[in-house]
Amino acid sequence: MQSWLPVPESASTLSGDVDALYFYIWGVTIFFTLLISVVVIFFVIRYRRRNPFEIPRPIEGSHKLETLWSVIPLLIAITFFVWGAKLYFAQYKPAQNAIEVYVVGKQWMWKFQHATGQREINELHVPVGRKVKLIMTTEDVIHDVFVPAFRIKADVVAGKYTTEWFEATKPGTYNFFCAEYCGMNHSGMRGYVVVMEPTEYENWLSGNAGQTSPAAAGRNLFESLGCISCHGANAEGGRGPALLGVYGSKVVLNNNSSVTADEGYIRESILNPQAKLVTGFGPIMPSFQGQISEEQLLDVVAYIKSLSTTKPEQATAKPAPSATPSTGAKPSATPK
Amino acid sequence: MSEHIVQPRVYLMIFLALMAGTGLTVVAAFYDFPGPLNAVVALTIAVIKATLVVLYFMHVRYSGRLIWLVIGSAIFWLAIMFALTISDYWTRTWFVPM
Amino acid sequence: MEEFEIPKQPGSNYLNAEYGLKSWLLTKDHKRIALLYLGAISFFFFIGSLYAMAIRLELLTPQGDLMQSSTYNKTFTQHGIIMVFFFLIPSIPATLGNFLIPMMIGAKDLAFPRINLLSWYIYMIGGVITIYALLAGGVDTGWTFYVPYSTTFSNSYVIATGLGIFINGFSSILTGLNFIVTIHTMRAPGMTWFRMPLFVWAHYATSLIMILGTPVVAITILLVALERLAHIGIFDPAAGGDPVLFQHLFWFYSHPAVYIMVLPAMGVVSELIANFSRKNIFGYKFVAFSSLAIAVLGFLVWGHHLFVASQSVYAGMIFSFLSFTVAIPSAIKVFNWTATLYKGSISYDTPMLYGLGFIGLFTIGGLTGMFLASLATDVHLSDTYFVVAHFHYIMVGGTLLAYLGGLHYWWPKISGRMYPEGWGRFSALIVFVGFNLTFSPQFLLGYMGMPRRYHTYPAELVSWQVLHVLSTAGASILGVGLMIPLVYLAWSLRYGRIAEANPWHLPGLEWQTASPPPTENFLTTPIVTHEAYEFAPPEHKEVVGKFERQQPAET
Amino acid sequence: MPEGLAATHDHPSHPALQHHFENMEQQREAGTLGMWVFLVTEIMFFGGMFLAYTLYRFEYPAAFVSASNHLDIKLGAINTAVLIVSSFTMATAVYSTQVGRQRTTIICLILTMILGATFLGIKGIEYHDKYNDHLIPGQLIPSRPFAPEVAKPGDTDPHKLHLIEGATVQNVQLFYWIYFAMTGMHALHMIIGLGIMTVILIMAWRGKFSPEYHAPVEISGLYWHFVDIIWIFLFPLLYLLGRHLEGHG
Ligand code: HEA
Ligand code: HEA
Ligand code: CUA
Ligand SMILES: [Cu+2]
């Protein structure tokens, strides 16, 4: 599958665009390199010193030329900027209707967890033609998920969630690499993304069924960590606020500001509950820092997300079974 | 040589102003001004005090353009560092990954 | 042709004015200090090069057969740290700059000779501590020291290395401070700002970066070391800190630092191009001010190293845009150098060959920076061999070549001897070929996805290995090309032809005194009545385009 | 005022003229400019820490207020005053060399040094208090890791940490890390300043300075005032902001 061409496989909806920009900049680069080399070589030969005593006429300079060769590069550079920024925005604009996969990097392996419960290490199975959003964090140092064939890359930073998404266009097996130096076995922290036809993917999913989904695991943690003592057995609320429908909603804080409850907010609410207090509640929730691993945290986040039906991304999801989390939570939970 | 000698009387007045500023900032700290004004008040007083020290104790008021330029560039570069770094932190939440 | 007055050889020069080790180690003469730096820097370059060869050998095969991963990681880290902090940053400023700036502006010495010597000692102390760290077990964080790896997870000598770099930073600060004050206060009568050689302008801009940027990295590295020591810190996410803040502070210095590395080289190249084509530089003021522009704009773009580091998307766009603005002053320089050649009298001496090589390789290096400054392509290329190729093109193809060019150009002034011209041209050619063969395959590798700092790579990717083999082959040629000057320059110290005061027949002030110069540079303080690079009388000046002819300034 | 000491006529033979300068004027100019440029590097050096402070103050306002309120505002204010007085005596020292009053110079220098030492002494007391309250961050002192006792509501023991709503001990630690980093660096500069003053004092004692030649006094004065300015900012930022919330914990 690896061609001899000095270009990696192009296998995502983005890769063609990135290649186009890449070749455009190469065009400009080669043009200017040739221009300058040819002119320099021509001058050097044409005006070589023929007589050891010759003194050429001094030439002062030219405002016209200076303007010309500042403005032209500037205009060209602006095209690089606009094009690059447009694609970048598209790349980082959160995906709608995406399959979500939770990713935890740790020295030196990758763990993937599908919403349906499948867990994989250093291998990621995805269907062709669907957006896949990676929600990523790390248990130790900074890592980075880099899939050359998809032209995507994003650091995985300790202490927060970062995301990236792709939509594969060609079935196949593609390398992915950890692209942020992370210590001894950095170069071993790689694996494969296996892109499958949708039916094949369904088979793969069902062949690996029977594992607890993140939301279900999160549900169990919700009990075992004692969250229910305040948030209620079904997260319907108690001493703490109800968590039904929190995800994706605007939460009003006690200083009258408000935040949108995304994964990062939920994460912070669990690890550093005092940082943003929900209006009407005291600072009684203890921090769970150190009592919960990053993976468990992602499970709890998945559980709390499953309590919300107004998930903006899945609001218009076509009923692809792979995208519907088979939650262990009460499906009857109604958002407040 | 174009050295300017600042008179002791000027030093004394600056000194008194600095002491007054210190007192003022301590008192002001116990009042609750609305919004971000607490920090604004404290920092304004600090900036005024620092300016007095620079202008008089450090003789910059009587120094040439070059010294002004040197100080100006320090402030300018500090501003770059703050502004561009904060531009990152400031805009991080604009893009809610939902 | 204009006649230059060749001063009579004075009885003593700076080399033989005093003898003995003490006279060197306690010298306050900027020229001797430059030589102290030259020795130390060459030593560090040698060490850094050995690491480079080890990297290249290891990457010949996809497996890790030469060394273990942890060793490999130390190898590239130490290669980067030594090459950046102990070789390239001080290279041109501390040797050629130190030697030439006072002479070029007609001063007897730098403004603070004792501080100049101090800066060399500080450099040595920092160097010794770093070498100690390398010998004691090495450091494996990458030259960028990213947290929390460096503060919490690495098991190597981070604190000692950090301390070495912290101390070394002050040497850089003091050099910059000395240059700025010297250029402001010590110019000879008649040496106006716009009569200064562009080499001096470039160093002025470099010094600005040194004094404004270096303190920030110093405190940052110090905080990392303290964090490691005290197990707590402002960068550690486990303690509520933000690792990205470290990256901001680090690159606030380290991006401008790349201009510390390239601006002096541009200064050297301006000298080479003008002097070896016997012409005043085309658009002198544009070239002079573009150095300042690079120094200022260079401080606005550091965030382009954080495009995939979870920086805000909006900040990314600001930094990307600003990054492109740096290309403009760089473009101005490249085009003006090219235009200077027009209707010149171009000689093919070794320094000129290096200078011409610089123009081409810097252009490629700089333009490949455009791929990285452009957001979408950087996402793919960041942390791949494309980046490695980009910066080696500028740092090796650019600065190292200019450094060699400058060393050859001023060698007669420094040593009083000529180098062998034939060997010089020959090795310049080898270096050029070897260099391109080493680093051009890496652009391709990078786009194909080969991440940097990788000890092993997938064996099934045959094309990757082919490119790596080419690169290693190139590095061997490059190594040979660099060995040759080492040998013949050392040889020439003893056996080279004795140089005249002004072997190239140039108008620059540094050539208007004996070779090697006397201790106080000039027997009497020169009075400057010429513009820089004034080969022919001003009446002969020709004007291209609409450009108001300036009357030669009266002094 | 006796004026006219502006030494228009430099004696090229002035014993303090270094060989590579043309005249005393050039030497003085270089020295002053050199010190200012050096101060620029100092501003950037502290600037990195001020930036970290700013960002975390926004990130963790409650913790910063709680931690800040635990600092001793009286000692902080006294120290501010001490430094201002020392700046004043320093300025006077510069003045008296300018007009050639050697004895006053020496007295002022000694006063400045005493005040500087007083500042450090008070800083030491404060550090010791933090040590007693287990507020030294992390394992900076390995035998005494960061472990403050948190006050319960209603508890007014000043040695306990009073957290206001939203503050966590972990983030208080962050404040103290910045506090120790900044005040520690500042104290280090004070110590260096005292070293410089000692040299200047000895030189003054030996009668090295005169209305024609006093650049060293002036330049060290610049340094001293600069260190004062850093403190002028540290005091409100570290001790004062959020004081009005004291007792809300
Ligand atoms: C001397 C060293 C040096 C210099 C001068 C430069 C110059 C530039 N660099 Fe480079 N860079 C490095 C050394 C250097 N760099 C290093 C060491 C790294 C890696 C650090 C690490 O992570 O370890 C790096 C990494 C790096 C990155 C981050 C990559 C990543 O990690 O993701 C970026 C991104 O924008 C970048 C951009 C640029 C730009 C825009 C310039 C510009 O200044 C270039 C301007 C010059 C030109 C553009 C050429 C001349 C112009 C013309 C001929 C006219 C025609 C021009 C146009 C039409 C635009 N560099
Ligand atoms: C000034 C800076 C500088 C210089 C001059 C060089 C010079 C070279 N560098 Fe380096 N390099 C960096 C700065 C520099 N590098 C930096 C900052 C990094 C990033 C580190 C990081 O990721 O943290 C890096 C990383 C880096 C890598 C990537 C490693 C990785 O990511 O895994 C590679 C790989 O090929 C490489 C190769 C080379 C080569 C072949 C040379 C050659 O040009 C060297 C050629 C010189 C010689 C061969 C010496 C001449 C000969 C002698 C003195 C005698 C001894 C030699 C022999 C007996 C053969 N360098
Ligand atoms: Cu994980 Cu590199
Ligand atoms: Cu950069």
Give the Å distance between the CA of C158 and the centre of ligand 3: 19
Residue of higher predicted confidence among C182 and A268: C182
Rg (CA), chain D: 22
Q: How far is CA C182 from CA A280, C414, D34, in A?
A: 65, 21, 9
CB count in 10 Å sphere of residue C225: 21
Q: Is C129 in the pocket of ligand 1 (CB under 6 A)?
A: no
Q: Which DSSP helix (H) or strand (E) runs through C461?
A: none
Distance CA D109, CA D116 (A): 10
At D38 the three-state DSSP class reads helix
Give the confidence band of C55 by pLDDT, cuts at 50, 70, 90: very high
Domain-wise residue ranges, chain D:
30-245
B53-85 per-position pLDDT tens digit:
999 999 888 888 999 999 999 999 999 999 999
The reported pLDDT for the residue numbered B91 is 87
Distance CA D36, CA B59 (A): 12
User: What is the separation, in whole angstroms, between the first and last Cα of chain A?
Assistant: 52
Q: Same structural domain for residues B58 and B24?
A: yes
Write down all domains in chain C, each with its CATH number in brackets: 28-540 (1.20.210.10)
Q: How far is CA A238 from CA A174, A220, A228, C43, C130, in A?
A: 48, 19, 9, 70, 59
CA D50 to chain centre: 14
Give the Å distance between the CA of C251 and the centre of ligand 4: 7
Residue A323 has pLDDT above 70, yes or no: no
Nearest CA in chain B to C309: B88
| Contact (Cβ atoms closer than 8 angstroms) between residue D212 and residue D7 | yes
C221-276 per-position pLDDT tens digit:
999 998 898 888 789 888 788 999 999 999 999 999 999 999 999 999 999 999 99
Distance CA C349, CA C372 (A): 35
| Token pair belonging to D142 | 């390995």
Nearest CA in chain C to A154: C308
Distance CA C63, CA C243 (A): 32
D120 contact B CB<8A? no
Residues of B with CB under 8 A from a CB of A: 93, 95-98
Report DSSP state, residue A112. E
Residues 377-396 of C with CB under 8 A from A: 377-380, 382-384
Ligand 2 pocket, mutate which of C83, C86, C258, C480 (most atoms under 8 A from CB):
C83
Give the Å distance between the CA of C390 and the centre of ligand 1: 7
| Contact (Cβ atoms closer than 8 angstroms) between residue C130 and residue C86 | yes
The reported pLDDT for the residue numbered C10 is 54
Give the ipTM of the model, two decimals please: 0.90
Q: What are phi and psi of C301, to 5 degrees?
A: -125, 10
Domain-wise residue ranges, chain A:
15-48+60-92, 99-207, 214-317
Note if the pTM is more than 0.90: yes
- Ligand 2 atom closest to Cα of C88? 1
Q: Is C77 in the pocket of ligand 2 (CB under 6 A)?
A: yes
| Percent of the residues in chain D that have a pLDDT greater than 90, as a whole number | 57
- B98 and A163 within 8 Å at the Cβ level: the answer is no
Class of domain A99-207: mainly beta
CB count in 10 Å sphere of residue D81: 16
D143 contact C CB<8A? no
Distance CA C373, CA C255 (A): 12
At A230 the three-state DSSP class reads helix
Cross-chain CB nearest to D233 (options B3, B38, B46) = B46
B interface test, pick of D71, D84, D105, D108 with most B CB neighbours within 10 Å:
D84
Mean pLDDT over residues C481-502, rounded? 92
Mean pLDDT of chain C: 91
Q: What are phi and psi of C152, to 5 degrees?
A: -120, -40
Mean pLDDT over residues C459-480, rounded? 93
Mean pLDDT over residues A152-158, rounded? 93
Q: How far is CA A81 from CA A151, B85, B93, C378, in A?
A: 18, 20, 23, 11
Report DSSP state, residue A312. G
Specify the CATH superfamily of domain D30-245: Cytochrome c oxidase, subunit III, four-helix bundle (1.20.120.80)
Residue C122 has pLDDT above 60, yes or no: yes
Mean pLDDT over residues C86-99, rounded? 95
The reported pLDDT for the residue numbered A25 is 96
Q: What are phi and psi of A109, to 5 degrees?
A: -150, 160
E-strand ranges in chain A read 99-106, 109-114, 119-121, 123-127, 131-138, 143-147, 152-156, 162-167, 172-178, 190-196, 250-252, 258-260
Give the structural domain span for B42. 1-63
A163 contact B CB<8A? yes
- B96 and A260 within 8 Å at the Cβ level: the answer is yes
Tally of domains within chain B? 2
- Ligand 1 atom closest to Cα of A73? 58
Task: For residue C216, list chain B residues with Cβ-Cβ distance below 8 A.
Answer: 81
Mean pLDDT of chain D: 87
CA trace torsion C408, C413, C417, C419 (10° rounding): 10
- A287 and D166 within 8 Å at the Cβ level: the answer is no
The reported pLDDT for the residue numbered A259 is 82
Task: For residue D51, list chain B residues with Cβ-Cβ distance below 8 A.
Answer: 81-82, 85
Distance CA A282, CA D129 (A): 31
| Percent of the residues in chain C that have a pLDDT greater than 70, as a whole number | 95
| Maximal CA-CA distance, chain A | 97
The reported pLDDT for the residue numbered C2 is 38
Q: Same structural domain for residues B13 and B54?
A: yes
Could you give the count of Cα atoms lying within 13 Å of B41 in the half-sphere of its Cβ? Answer: 21
Q: Give the minimum alpha-carbon distance from B2 to chain C in angstroms, rounded to a whole number.
A: 15
Nearest CA in chain D to C522: D20
Q: Same structural domain for residues B37 and B2?
A: yes
- Chain A: touching chains (3 or more CB pairs < 8 Å): B, C, D
Distance CA A214, CA A225 (A): 16
Number of C/D CB contacts below 8 angstroms equals: 114
User: What is the separation, in whole angstroms, between the first and last Cα of chain D?
Assistant: 58
Q: Same structural domain for residues B31 and B73?
A: no
Mean pLDDT over residues D219-234, rounded? 95
Residues with CB under 5 Å of ion ligand 4 are C 255
Residue C96 has pLDDT above 70, yes or no: yes
At B53 the three-state DSSP class reads helix
- D6 and B3 within 8 Å at the Cβ level: the answer is yes
Q: Same structural domain for residues B7 and B39?
A: yes
C63 contact A CB<8A? no
Query: Which pairs with CB-CB distance under 8 Å and at least 24 residues apart come from D23-28?
Result: D24/B1, D24/D212, D24/D213, D25/B1, D26/C185, D26/C186, D27/D215, D28/B1, D28/D215
Q: Which fold has domain A214-317?
A: Cytochrome Bc1 Complex; Chain D, domain 2 (1.10.760)
Tokens 């995304």 -> residue: A262
Distance CA C349, CA D209 (A): 55
Residues 131-150 of A with CB under 8 A from C: 140-142, 144, 146, 148-149
| Token pair belonging to D22 | 């043309």
Q: Same structural domain for residues B10 and B49?
A: yes
The reported pLDDT for the residue numbered D33 is 93
Distance CA B71, CA D44 (A): 12
Q: Which DSSP helix (H) or strand (E) runs through A202?
A: helix A198-207
Distance CA A62, CA C338 (A): 13
- A262 and B96 within 8 Å at the Cβ level: the answer is yes
Q: Same structural domain for residues B55 and B70?
A: no
Residue D221 has pLDDT above 80, yes or no: yes
Instruction: Say yes or no: do domains A99-207 and A214-317 share a fold.
Output: no
Q: Is C388 in the pocket of ligand 2 (CB under 6 A)?
A: yes
Ligand 1 pocket, mutate which of C91, C305, C362 (most atoms under 8 A from CB):
C305
B27 class by beta-carbon count within 10 Å (0-12 exposed, 13-18 middle, 19+ buried): exposed
Beta pairing class for A109-114 and A143-147 = unpaired
The reported pLDDT for the residue numbered A9 is 87
Query: What angle (nearest 5°) sits at the alpha carbon of residue C341, between those of residues C105 and C285?
Result: 45
C391-442 per-position pLDDT tens digit:
999 999 999 999 999 999 999 999 999 999 999 999 999 999 999 999 999 9
Distance CA B97, CA A93 (A): 8
Nearest CA in chain B to C295: B77
Tokens 């395959």 -> residue: C441
Could you give the count of Cα atoms lying within 13 Å of D52 in the half-sphere of its Cβ? Answer: 32
D193 contact B CB<8A? no
C306-334 per-position pLDDT tens digit:
999 989 999 999 999 999 999 999 999 99
Could you give the count of Cα atoms lying within 13 Å of D55 in the half-sphere of its Cβ? Answer: 29
CB count in 10 Å sphere of residue B83: 12
Does C538 sit behind a cis peptide bond, omega within 30 degrees of 0 on the bond before it?
no
CA trace torsion A56, A59, A65, A66 (10° rounding): 120
**Pocket, ligand 3, Cβ cutoff 6 A:** A 105, 108, 143, 178, 180-182, 186, 189
CB count in 10 Å sphere of residue C460: 11
Nearest CA in chain B to A314: B98
For D28, left (φ over 0), alpha (ψ -120 to 50), or beta? alpha
- A313 and B98 within 8 Å at the Cβ level: the answer is yes
Q: What are phi and psi of C392, to 5 degrees?
A: -70, -35
At A145 the three-state DSSP class reads strand
Nearest to C305 by CA among C250, C352, C263, C359: C250
Q: Which of C217-231, C350-364, C495-509 has the highest mean pLDDT?
A: C350-364
Q: Which DSSP helix (H) or strand (E) runs through A256?
A: none
Give the confidence band of D2 by pLDDT, cuts at 50, 70, 90: very low
Cross-chain CB nearest to A58 (options C149, C280, C545) = C280
- D37 and C211 within 8 Å at the Cβ level: the answer is yes
Distance CA A322, CA A207 (A): 13
| Percent of the residues in chain C that have a pLDDT greater than 90, as a whole number | 77
The helix-helix angle for C401-415 and C243-276 (nearest 10°) equals 50
| Among protein residues, the one whose CA lies closest to atom 21 of ligand 1 | C144
The reported pLDDT for the residue numbered B2 is 52
CA trace torsion B23, B27, B28, B33 (10° rounding): 180
C155 class by beta-carbon count within 10 Å (0-12 exposed, 13-18 middle, 19+ buried): exposed
Sign of CA dihedral C55, C60, C62, C67: negative
